[in-house]
């Protein structure tokens, strides 16, 4: 599959689509989702990188664009206030449940290693082995949905990112929020040790 056939989505559209994909599996009783429920899913503090604070206007704009692209559809419950939304990812693209799970994680969490995908995918899809994860990743990469990123210093596993925002250069700082506290802590410790040495 040629990557040119993929839609180029912005960050809000990717977050909305990923949230719908996730909640269809993790909370099926509340799916399809209301705008209010979707806002909470997009802005939740866990399992999201980066964490965002989208208002309902931003989410509505993203929903309208995704609907035009055919990636979501609506289900009304009798009045306009009860409009609910569902994703059509596996209808638009010929992907299996295991592939939907991986795409969902990449949409919501940013670049992931096979090990991270295996750990984080439990509620979306149960992979039997790490080898199975790697096989699905290779298939998605060969079909142009994702690409492999260069290894970070000291990292054993390759990371993968989705290509639904275009084939852009990955900027490490955009996803470094998890590591920055540890880094700043170590720098603080070094400064304390240095000061203690000077005062001694």
**Cβ atoms < 10 Å from Cβ of 169:** 5
Burial code (b: 16+ CB inside 10 Å, e: under 16) for 142-164 equals eeebbbebeeeeeeeeebbbbbb
Q: Residue 78: is its pLDDT beyond 70?
A: no
What is the rounded average pLDDT of the residues 140-169?
A: 89
- Answer for the pair 67, 61: CB distance below 8 angstroms, yes or no: no
pLDDT for 160-189, tens place per residue? 999 999 887 655 554 444 444 444 455 555
Q: Residue 197: is its pLDDT beyond 90?
A: no
Q: How many CA atoms lie within 13 A of 189 on its CB side?
A: 6
Domains of the chain: 3-169 (1.10.10.10)
pLDDT for 18-49, tens place per residue? 999 999 999 999 999 999 999 999 999 999 99
pTM over the 0.75 mark: yes
Q: Residue 102: is its pLDDT beyond 90?
A: yes
Indicate the DSSP class of residue 123.
T
């Amino acid at each position: 599959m040629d990557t040119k056939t993929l839609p180029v989505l912005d960050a809000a559209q990717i977050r909305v689509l990923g949230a719908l994909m996730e909640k269809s599996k993790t909370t099926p009783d509340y799916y399809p989702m209301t705008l209010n429920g979707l806002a909470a899913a997009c802005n939740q503090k866990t399992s999201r990188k980066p964490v965002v604070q989208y208002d309902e206007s931003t989410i509505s704009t993203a929903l309208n664009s995704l609907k035009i692209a055919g990636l979501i559809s609506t289900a009304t419950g009798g009045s306009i206030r009860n409009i609910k939304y569902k994703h059509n990812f596996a209808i638009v693209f010929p992907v299996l449940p295991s592939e939907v799970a991986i795409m969902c994680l990449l949409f919501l969490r940013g670049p992931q290693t096979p090990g991270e995908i295996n750990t984080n995918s439990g509620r979306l899809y149960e992979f039997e082995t790490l080898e199975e994860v790697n096989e699905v990743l290779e298939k998605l990469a060969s079909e142009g949905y994702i690409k492999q990123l260069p290894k970070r210093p000291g990292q054993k596993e390759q990371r993968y990112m989705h290509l639904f925002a275009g084939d852009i250069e990955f900027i490490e700082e955009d996803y470094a929020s998890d590591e920055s506290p540890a880094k700043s802590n170590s720098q603080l410790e070094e400064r304390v040790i240095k000061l203690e040495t000077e005062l001694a």
